Amino acid sequence: MPQPQVELRSDTFTTPTAGMRTAMANAEVGDDVWGTDPTVDALQRKCAELFGFEAALYVVSGTMGNQLALRSLVQPGQELLCHQEAHIVTYERGAAAVHGQITTRTWGGEGAPTVDLLEKMLRPPGFGTVQTVAIAVENTHGGLSGSVLDLDRLRAARELTMDRGVAMHCDGARIWNAYVAGGLALSDCGRLFDTMSICLSKGLGAPIGSVVLGTADTIARAREMRARLGGGWRQAGILAAAGIYAIDNQLERLVDDHRRAKILAAAAGVDPDSVETNMVFVPTDDAPAYVARLADQGILCSATSPTMVRLVTHLDVSEDQIAYAAGILAAG
């Protein structure tokens, strides 16, 4: 029997399903730079409505989505606060600093900041200080085991920041996982955040694409900045069709990914109750050796630190593959 290959490195490894490919092949297209691609328009309208925002912009990546949103909120020389493990400050190659001339300061601990923490960190305009004008949160939080942010804390943070004239951005690359895990109504996001970026190409399974959400004015400016970066695209409806298909057909199935992550956790000796979404973090003495040992048995995962291994479930991992991987993990 050929050895199975189980891809657990990331939920970005998903490939378009047959239904998705059909939707892409049949997509009506135009020239999105001219604003005449009906499928891109449909995706943008759909996302704006779903999340309770005025407007939306389809972009090539989550990084571009985050950066366009942040630059619409924070001017050169102003400050953004976020978590120290946020994607924005760890995986975006310093984009906020390089392109946006944005100063960042970070907090540790939990993903959603308390009012107390914000009271201490927010800097008003004043002589010699850098003014804090925005904070960014990440939901789910990839750097914190794929955990779902506490909604009450977010609401309290929103109240305080609004009172101080500070904007709030959400890196919602995996907001779908937070939604499926329960408690978060997608349509509330527009009230909670000034801007948000969402990803279609992770667990949802579209090949490419993210969407930035905000007010009509913010999105108009984001569109201008996108063009300046060379991010205008033409018959993008072919890709947008995959995004629409993913939301309509591959969102609710994320519960399977979450259930399967718990199965892997239990097998690997991690408390399944600590797994909130589709990521399992396994502490070990020697993460590279652990990764190599699993790779020998056809299971691909990654080391996030010398002593931590990450396993991520997604659309392209079958129930059988989970059972196989669980068997290997349980055998130690």
Ligand X SMILES: *Cc1c(COP(=O)(O)O)cnc(C)c1O
- The residue (of 88 and 328) whose beta carbon lies closer to ligand X is 88
Q: Which residue is nearest to ligand X (CB)?
A: 62
Q: Which of 171, 194, 256, 257 binds ligand X (CB under 6 A)?
A: 171
* Shortest Cβ 112–ligand X spacing (Å): 14
Q: Which of 20, 40, 62, 72 binds ligand X (CB under 6 A)?
A: 62
- The residue (of 29 and 86) whose beta carbon lies closer to ligand X is 86
173 contributes a contact to ligand X by CB under 6 A = yes
Instruction: Report the 3 state secondary structure along the chain.
Output: CCCCCEECCCHHHCCCCHHHHHHHHCCCCCCHHHCCCHHHHHHHHHHHHHHCCCEEEEECCHHHHHHHHHHHHCCCCCEEEEECCCHHHHCCCCHHHHCCCCEEEEECCCCCCCHHHHHHHCCCCCCCCCCEEEEEEECCEHHHCCECCCHHHHHHHHHHHHHCCCEEEEEECCHHHHHHHCCCCHHHHHHHCCEEEEECCCCCCCCCCEEEEECHHHHHHHHHHHHHCCCCCCCCHHHHHHHHHHHHHCCCCHHHHHHHHHHHHHHHCCCHHHCCCCEEEEECCCHHHHHHHHHHCCEECEEEECCEEEEECCCCCCHHHHHHHHHHHHCC
- The residue (of 62 and 237) whose beta carbon lies closer to ligand X is 62
11 contributes a contact to ligand X by CB under 6 A = no
Q: Which of 63, 67, 78, 218 binds ligand X (CB under 6 A)?
A: 63
* Shortest Cβ 276–ligand X spacing (Å): 15
Cα separation, 20 vs 243, in Å, equals 9
Q: Which stretch binds ligand X (CB under 6 A): 39-47, 59-67, 263-271, 291-299?
A: 59-67
Q: Which of 100, 111, 113, 142 binds ligand X (CB under 6 A)?
A: 142
- The residue (of 261 and 329) whose beta carbon lies closer to ligand X is 261
- The residue (of 135 and 328) whose beta carbon lies closer to ligand X is 135
Q: Which of 4, 31, 61, 123 binds ligand X (CB under 6 A)?
A: 61
Question: Is the CB of residue 134 less than 8 Å from the CB of residue 168?
Answer: yes
- The residue (of 35 and 109) whose beta carbon lies closer to ligand X is 109
276 contributes a contact to ligand X by CB under 6 A = no
- The residue (of 142 and 205) whose beta carbon lies closer to ligand X is 142
Is omega for the bond preceding 140 within 30 degrees of 0, making it cis? yes
* Shortest Cβ 143–ligand X spacing (Å): 8
How many Cα atoms occupy the beta-carbon half-sphere of 43 within 13 Å? 34
Enter the tokens of residue 170.
């959400």
- The residue (of 169 and 262) whose beta carbon lies closer to ligand X is 169
Q: Which stretch binds ligand X (CB under 6 A): 61-69, 118-126, 245-253, 311-319?
A: 61-69
79 contributes a contact to ligand X by CB under 6 A = no
Instruction: Please work out the total of residues on this chain that contact ligand X, with binding judged by CB under 6 A.
Output: 11
Cα 94 to the center of its chain, rounded Å:
17
138 contributes a contact to ligand X by CB under 6 A = yes
Among positions 186-215, residues that touch ligand X (CB under 6 A) are 199, 210
Where on the chain is the footprint of ligand X (CB under 6 A)? 61-63, 66, 87, 138, 142, 171, 173, 199, 210
